[in-house]
Amino acid sequence: MALPQGVWAFWLGSLAVPRARPTVCAGAAGAAWLALLVSGADAQRGSGVEVFFTRGEQLAPVTRTLGPGQRGEVVALRALLAGPSAAERKAGLRTAVPPGSRLRSVRLSGSSVRADVHFADVARPSEFALTLRPARNAQLVATLKALEGVRKVELLVDGSPLAVANSRPDRLPPEPPDLEPSAPAPEFPGAIQDRLAELRYLPREAVTGTWDYRTEQAVIALQSWVGLARDGEVGPQTLAAIGEAETPEPRRFSGKRIEVYRSRGVALLVVGGAVRRAIHVSTGAPGFETPLGSFQVFRKERFSWSRPYKVWLPHASYFTGGVAFHAFAEIPPQPASHGCVRVPFPEAPVIYAFATLGTRVLVFP
């Protein structure tokens, strides 16, 4: 860390030789020693700049080298717009900045920086692409604010000022939404619920005799696990599968764990060799896939705030970087998240309670 100017001057002054003996530091050795001290201070200031990509629902910083004579703000923004390297992508880093985006101009003046960028958006962006826009702005702001001394950031897109919300809301999110099933109710919902509870797709307390959102999500989990169309509707094929199915079988591992199956969209809560629950989830969309592998829950937040995407993540259990299990209002029957594992609101407290710190998480294709 660089010393304040006054302290730096005092320290260097204390190294100076009294005026009566000026020849002590006049030699080559003394000059070299003083130069080494000064260059050491420069090294403390850092020879790189931070660039912020995303990992799951959170920002993830990386460092880019700053060469002699290069401007930090230019290097940082160009590196951000270029995107993560192949090795960084393999490690799970992503970016919300569309490929082909470029820097138009950037000006650093004192503690303020003004940047003008061009985003290479397609003419008709998809619904998922629209969800990335808050994150790309957050990446730009975080990267620029990481520059030494920068306090104020002004962003422009193709010359037009861009309003960016950077602060976390003062209030917590409202109560979970009252979600309704979209599929029609079957003739005997209580019997369906009872069988789903036997198969671990529902908890016993969810057997109410009333067709509801939680039951529909359980039906989707079963449909996915046995290879049927995932629509939540209890038609003839699904009804037959409910009657003939067995409790999902986990992999042959020991101990307490959560097994996530990306293609199936199902998470299994396992203790020993027994499945406690099977829950419908939605993992990362194409290009933002939830990382495969073995992880451990390392952070839990009842209400977690996503800096890049500007949304609350209730019942968040993080297991690698910014990737977490968390509640979400929409759990489609296909991968749709920014890398996290989205969980239906009624099931989010179940996973949150199960996923204690250190719980193993296994993510399979």
Q: What is the pLDDT of residues 255-304, one digit of tens each?
A: 999 999 999 999 999 998 999 999 999 999 999 999 999 999 999 999 99
Is domain 189-364 in CATH 2.40.440.10, yes or no?
yes
The larger pLDDT score, comparing residue 44 to residue 117, is at 117
Determine the pLDDT at residue 121: 83
Residues 6 or more apart whose CB falls under 8 angstroms from that of 355 comprise 258, 297, 300, 317, 319, 325, 361
Distance CA 89, CA 287 (A): 10
25 CB neighbour count, 10 Å cutoff: 14
pTM across the whole model: 0.81
Region 231-252: what's the mean pLDDT? Answer: 96
Region 67-80: what's the mean pLDDT? Answer: 95
Least confident range from 36-45, 116-125, 337-346, 355-364: namely: 36-45
Spans of all domains in the chain: 5-45, 48-162, 189-364
- Residues 222 and 196 sit within 8 Å (Cβ to Cβ): yes
- Residues 115 and 156 sit within 8 Å (Cβ to Cβ): yes
| Percentage of residues in the chain having pLDDT higher than 90 | 79
Region 342-349: what's the mean pLDDT? Answer: 97
Determine the pLDDT at residue 100: 94
* Enclosing H/E stretch for 89: helix 86-90
112-132: per-residue pLDDT in tens?
999 999 999 877 788 899 999
Third-level CATH fold of 48-162: GMP Synthetase; Chain A, domain 3 (3.30.300)
Question: Of 248, 244, 242, nearest to 194 (Cα)?
Answer: 242
350-360: per-residue pLDDT in tens?
999 999 999 99
164-222: per-residue pLDDT in tens?
765 678 788 877 888 999 999 999 999 999 999 999 999 999 999 999 999 999 999 99
The string over 251-286, giving b where at least 16 C-beta atoms fall within 10 Å of a residue's C-beta and e elsewhere, is: eeeeeebbbbbbebbbbbbbeeeebebbbbbbbbbe
Determine the pLDDT at residue 31: 40
